[in-house]
A and B are shown apart, each in its own frame.
Chain A
Amino acid sequence: MTGLTALNSFFLPLLPLAALPVIFHLFFRLKTTPRVFSTLMFFQRIDPKFNARRRLREWLILALRTLLILFLLLALAHPVWFGVGRQGPVAVALVIDNSGSMSGFGTDGRTKLKQAAAAARELVAQLRDQDSAGIVLLVNDPLVPVPLGLTSDKLALRNALDQLTETEAGGSVAAALERAGALFEKSTASHFEIQVFSDLQSDKWNQPPVNLRAPRTGTSLVVHRLPSPELARVNVAITGVRLSTRVVLSGRKLPVEVQLANSLASEGRVRLNWTTDSGTQGGDEVSVAPNSEKTVTVTLEPPAAGQHWAGFELAGDDFNADNHAFIGFNAQEKQTVNFLGQPADYGLLPLALSPTADGKLSGLLTTFNATPDFSGGFLALTWDAFAANTPALGDGLKQFLEAGGCALIVPPAGAAAGFNPLPDWIAAVPEDFASASNGVALIALDKANPLFNDLRDEKGDVALHNVKAFRYLPLRTATNTTPVLGLENGSALLAEQRVGRGRLFVSGLAFDSGWSTLVLKPAFIAFAQNLALAQTGDGRDATPLVAGEPLRLATPADKNIEVQSLGGSPLDWNGLAAQLPTLPRAGVYVIRSAGGTNRVAVRSSEKEGRQNFVTGDRLPALGTLAYAVNDYHDGPTLASEFHRLEKSLDLSPLLLLLALLALAAEGLLANPPPMRARPAANPQADLKEETSGIR
């Protein structure tokens, strides 16, 4: 910040507006009424320099108007002359950017966050007894004991700075500045400063602000830019973790897709390590092409039913703050499939799901009931069921689906005629029976459907291996249904409909060899089990979050909340819901409140690894605030600058006074008193009588 600095630089680009009076004068001159007159002699006698004086007055008015606008704009720009003026108590808000990008290394081998903490310590050391300071973190970190409000306790300030550790979160510049500005609200200091230490990563600083509140009038805002050397080698980030949409069963393989991204122009060779709550660990070497993404599938196996989590970490990467991700999920011991009716009605489907019916081999437990049992996760029923139980069955099924269950409606294997209509809310409607003695080919109509997950070849195409249908009921589908399996002419034979949180599959094809060759194919077992394990979500029971994202809980602000980490970054926080911090590091956390217990799985923010930094002196994130950007060099330089800033002279009042003077002078010149005639050398007798008749 140089000697003379505008604290509200938004108005500086408006300074050319001061030329408006001149422009108006030149291009929009006041129209004068032309008038022929016999002589100008008397006007010249009033004042021999009548015209010259008038022109001079016009230009003076013009100059005063220009000065008025100029002074006003300058006053609004709030210029402050630092290094001059009185020196009083100073209140300083130290805003430390502790976002993930600051975990990158600076020029001296330390992380940028450590550099920022050291620089802030330098400023704290310069504080005098009457000065006060507060610390504001860009990412609210519950692990750092930040003093509340402003304090003159240098020890407490240094202690907080010493405990700063790198986070993996992004942060909000506007929110941090608002917190910094709030520190000054009740301060009696004569000078206020916000000192920001940041690497000015573009993702945070090159974005226009949202709801940015200006700090107290007269507050100086100085941004110290910590240099960011170019990242030399490898920076691969975990951009997401994805579970399959099948029900997670204990003791069964659980594929987990870890999404990676390499933002550098060189190949990223890293090692993806994972660990689970049960202590299982693993790792794979991964190579990600330059500037590309890659998905790595990791197979987990939850040993028992219950809540589990898994954490993923990239090793061998030069930037650490985007290398972690966690996921939490719930495993069931078995999935119950309730059939309504007799096994013969469902053909080979029960056998494909559970050959021993007890779930030993597949984890699927099949039961057959005479009445609908909505207690399981999956319900299978035939078209015939609706003839006897409608509408009670229809209503019960709908509630089951809306609550998150899945169901399948199939024609009875031995059926040969039409069926009673289905409830109105079922959008897939069967048409007339059709048959083909030589069979018609079945194809996947919705190739991305998870039902086909294990039926794809190396290219990713669904391989049904020449499945043919001999008997079938084509389905007429509506817009809220998705045809999954059908004929080459587009007729759907299996359609999926979302109902509430659940999924309903309507089949026009019985799973019997008399209807199609599908049941004779090995792929049928995978297809059937995918069907029975289908669920709306992906099996997570922990809300996924990116580090730094706000937790959205329905807990009232005055209620207590407890946050504990189950895996990843250790945390044990207890406080009011209103003060609930963001979670700045990857991990699995359990949040307990009066409203219940929630789990969140946090991954690091992949944005923090992006090597884009604001290089100029313009910071869009600060909007119209007045600020100065200094490149941080070393502590002594910072200290001397700080001392200079302690003295300042606010020029706004002076400029406002000048503007008022210009306004007053302009008013006097623009509205002059009536002119008087020049005094006569020899006053003559009054001529009123002479001219009275002419008036």
Chain B
Amino acid sequence: MSATYKFLPPELADRLRGLGVSMRRPVEGALQGLHRSPHYGSSVEFADYREYAPGDPPNRIDWAVYARSDRYVIRRYQEETNVRAYILLDTSESMAFRDAGKLSKMDYACYLAASLMFILVSQSDAAGLTLFNDGVQKTLPPVSSMGGLRPMLQALEAAQPTGPSKIEAALHTLAEQVKRRSLIILISDLLQNPADTIRGIQHLQHNKHEVLVLHVLDAAEINLNFGGLNELRELETGARLPVHGDEVRDAYAEEVRKYLEEVRRGCLGSLADYHLVDTRVPVEEMLHAKFGQS
């Protein structure tokens, strides 16, 4: 990759080398890769036997077993395959928020997406990108080459946070579109009813996908950092609300705590991997913390 991309500068790419994304479940891949495939093939890792059936290649018959049991059986091996990962990036307007962090949530999420795509392709997996807000805005199919990442990196640069967010709808759409078992990486601030989000994740889980949730929040969203009387304007709806920061700070923090707990427990209950991301933490540091040991 000779071109320079905003969200994947060479220095970041350098720092990401050595990181790897692993799967907890077997995935279906077209190419041989690092991850277990749900299909059995002829690789070196023995799986089990099965009865020979007409059409099977005769060279796969285990003659030693035939000699002992007078049965035609075929050895089956655990086939290792590559991962098809879909990065699902929330581009709703709330993602434009920035206060405590150096980057807006949107920019931070784009850095995360680009980094993850780079890591995946680097380990011979395929990475695709889906941008959504209240619906799927753009879908770029998975690619497994660095060159193939170009349109996705360009799509990230072109993406603007706009519109309301409907995460559940996007997740349902993706669940219907992706037939093969895949890794779904949801990058979002999840600022909506946690139950809705969890329903979407459960749909993906039901379709045998593995889900990784990267919950991107600015620290100022978790703990109010303003005092006095402020008139807050909601990014997505433009709704206004006069708020006295000192008056509601504690209650707000408590509500956020409950919300995060609900999201976290929902993800765990759906077997999704959940990770709360603070935009003040550098992207590579966050990725090292998450994927550095895999």
Contacts and interface: CB of A to CB of B under 8 A. Distances in A.
B1 interface: no
Contacts of B257: 687-688, 691
A674 B243 CA distance: 12
A34 B231 CA distance: 5
17 contacts: A32-B230, A32-B242, A34-B233, A35-B230, A36-B233, A37-B234, A38-B94, A39-B94, A40-B241, A43-B252, A46-B251, A51-B242, A676-B254, A677-B258, A678-B255, A687-B257, A694-B222
Contacts of A42: 252, 255-256, 259
Contacts of B107: none
Interface string B263-277: 011000000000010
Interface in A356-408: none
A41 B97 contact: no
Contact of A38 (B229, B235, B248): B235
A36 B252 CA distance: 16
A676 B252 CA distance: 8
Given A676-B251, A687-B257, A691-B222, 17 more contacts: A32-B230, A33-B228, A35-B231, A36-B232, A39-B234, A40-B237, A43-B241, A43-B243, A43-B248, A46-B251, A672-B247, A674-B248, A677-B252, A690-B260, A690-B261, A693-B278, A693-B281
A30 interface: yes
Given A684-B262, A690-B264, A695-B223, A677 B232 contact: no
A38 B252 contact: no
Given A41-B192, A42-B255, A695-B223, A35 B232 contact: yes
The 5 closest A-B pairs by CB, nearest first: A677-B254, A38-B97, A675-B251, A684-B261, A32-B231
B222 A674 contact: no
A674 B246 contact: yes
Contacts of B243: 43
A434 interface: no
A148 interface: no
B97 A36 contact: yes
B118 to A, nearest CB: 25
Interface string B200-240: 00000000000000000111011100101111111111010
A51 B234 CA distance: 14
A41 B191 contact: yes
B99 to A, nearest CB: 9
A38 B218 contact: yes
B217 A694 contact: yes
Contacts of A34: 230-231, 233
Contacts of A51: 241-242
Contacts of A672: 247
B230 A685 contact: no
Interface string B170-210: 00000000000000000001011000000000000000000
Interface string B77-96: 00000000000000000100
A559 to B, nearest CB: 74
Contacts of B94: 38-39
A694 B242 contact: no
B97 A694 contact: no
B75 interface: no
Nearest to B256: A42
User: Looking at B233, B261, B281, which has the most chain A CB atoms within 10 Å of its CB?
Assistant: B261
B150 interface: no
A198 B198 CA distance: 91
B200 to A, nearest CB: 18
Interface string B153-167: 000000000000000
Contacts of A10: none
B255 A45 contact: yes
A54 interface: yes
A43 B226 CA distance: 14
Contacts of B261: 684-685, 687, 690
Interface in A226-270: none
B251 A677 contact: yes
Given A35-B233, A684-B261, A54 B242 contact: yes
Contacts of B237: 40
B25 interface: no
A24 interface: no
A59 interface: no
Nearest to A47: B251
Nearest to A35: B230
A680 interface: yes
A525 to B, nearest CB: 100
Contacts of A46: 248, 251-252, 255
Contacts of A687: 257, 260-261, 264
A193 to B, nearest CB: 53
A41 B197 CA distance: 15
Contact of A37 (B189, B235, B258, B260): B235
A39 B236 contact: yes
User: Looking at A674, A680, A691, which has the most chain B CB atoms within 10 Å of its CB?
Assistant: A691
Nearest to B218: A38
Interface string A48-67: 00110010000000000000
A672 B251 CA distance: 14
User: Looking at B221, B237, B254, which has the most chain A CB atoms within 10 Å of its CB?
Assistant: B254
Nearest to B222: A694
User: Looking at B221, B231, B241, B251, which has the most chain A CB atoms within 10 Å of its CB?
Assistant: B251
B249 interface: yes
Interface string A651-695: 000000000000000000000101111101000110110110111
A35 B265 CA distance: 32
B241 A50 contact: yes
Nearest to B221: A38
A675 B250 contact: yes
B276 A690 contact: yes
Contacts of B249: 674
A40 B246 contact: no
Contact of A694 (B223, B230, B254, B265): B223
A45 B259 contact: yes
Contacts of A680: 258
Contacts of B250: 674-677
Contacts of B262: 684
User: Looking at A40, A54, A685, A693, which has the most chain B CB atoms within 10 Å of its CB?
Assistant: A40
A46 B265 CA distance: 21
Contacts of B232: 35-37, 40, 43
A43 B255 CA distance: 8
Nearest to A688: B257
Nearest to B232: A37
Contacts of B218: 38
Contact of B226 (A35, A678, A685, A695): A35
Contacts of B235: 36-39
A684 B231 contact: no
A633 to B, nearest CB: 62
User: Looking at A37, A40, A680, A685, which has the most chain B CB atoms within 10 Å of its CB?
Assistant: A37
A577 B116 CA distance: 111
Interface in B117-175: none
A33 B229 contact: yes
B259 to A, nearest CB: 7
Nearest to A51: B241
B162 to A, nearest CB: 14
B125 to A, nearest CB: 29
A695 B217 CA distance: 12
Interface in B11-39: none
A43 B244 CA distance: 11
Contacts of B264: 687, 690
A49 to B, nearest CB: 12
Nearest to B242: A32
A534 B192 CA distance: 113
Interface in A114-168: none
A363 B155 CA distance: 134
Contact of A684 (B228, B233, B241, B265): B265
Contacts of B234: 37-40
A680 B249 CA distance: 17
